[in-house]
Copies of this chain bind each other. A is one copy, B any other.
């Protein structure tokens, strides 16, 4: 497998799609698939499939294709999706609730271990066996589970945009180095530094993935414009 830093982010995104396609094939009891079949279902070219997979190892046999179960298992392993990732959700509005209740998450061993908010009418409520805690308890909670099987790996930010950077700071200050940001703002990662006690050697300090909840809608709008011409100039 190539070094993580050498793998294009677009490739990582497509491999996530390939895994989903392989799961569908498995559900349909398909044992082997060609790069053409994977490509058709993923909406890319066969060349793209083969090129993307070279980053992760040597798979498949010319003329025979890929063994669905093996390729799925290896890609899950390559992406770290064969292990459990413990997650806290910061911001238990509707989106936080939707994620906390999303049935698919547990298929990938994303395990909610803590839920946080600041609203008095939300703190103390129970969601799927977890009591929503006040944000002031984030640091103590993360510290209390450190080194246990419930150690926090990732924080999901589902707070309003104006609170996202501060909530990210709170996660990082507590020692949570992976953030999935659903708030409609691009987090400024250069301002986020893990306390020295938490920073592992050889590991990027803080990893942020920004999820634009409306990005899909915006892309769809563009593709629905249809063929266009005429350059814009400032």
Task: State how many angstroms separate the Cβ of A33 from the closest Cβ of chain B.
Answer: 13
- The residue on B at minimum CB distance from A232 is B57
Whether a CB of chain B sits under 8 angstroms from the CB of A198 is no
20 A–B contacts, CB within 8 A, in A order:
A12-B219, A12-B222, A17-B210, A20-B212, A24-B186, A57-B232, A57-B233, A58-B232, A58-B234, A79-B221, A85-B217, A85-B224, A94-B97, A94-B102, A99-B213, A104-B161, A108-B218, A110-B214, A209-B217, A209-B219
Known: A227-B5, A234-B74. A13 touches B219 (CB 8 A): yes
Q: How far is the CA of A66 from the CA of B233 in the complex (A)?
A: 11
Q: How far is the CA of A155 from the CA of B224 in the complex (A)?
A: 12
Whether a CB of chain B sits under 8 angstroms from the CB of A98 is yes
- The residue on B at minimum CB distance from A61 is B234
Chain A residues touching B, majority SS: mixed
**CB-defined contacts of A226 to chain B, threshold 8 Å:** 4, 200, 202-204
Task: State how many angstroms separate the Cβ of A83 from the closest Cβ of chain B.
Answer: 8
Name the segment of A114-122, A131-139, A166-174, A176-184 touching the other chain: A176-184
* Contact assessment for B186 and A20 in the assembled complex, using a CB-CB cutoff below 8 Å: yes
Whether a CB of chain B sits under 8 angstroms from the CB of A47 is no
* Contact assessment for B233 and A220 in the assembled complex, using a CB-CB cutoff below 8 Å: no
Q: How far is the CA of A190 from the CA of B41 in the complex (A)?
A: 9
- The residue on B at minimum CB distance from A42 is B186
- The residue on B at minimum CB distance from A110 is B217
* Contact assessment for A223 and B211 in the assembled complex, using a CB-CB cutoff below 8 Å: no
Residues of A within 8 A of B (CB): 1, 3-5, 9-10, 12-13, 16-17, 19-21, 24, 40-43, 56-61, 66-67, 70-71, 74, 77-81, 85, 87, 94-95, 97-99, 101-102, 104-105, 108, 110, 153-154, 156, 161, 177-180, 182, 184-186, 188-190, 200, 202-204, 207, 209-234
* Contact assessment for A224 and B97 in the assembled complex, using a CB-CB cutoff below 8 Å: no
* Contact assessment for B79 and A24 in the assembled complex, using a CB-CB cutoff below 8 Å: no
* Contact assessment for B225 and A4 in the assembled complex, using a CB-CB cutoff below 8 Å: yes
Task: State how many angstroms separate the Cβ of A73 from the closest Cβ of chain B.
Answer: 10
- The residue on B at minimum CB distance from A185 is B24
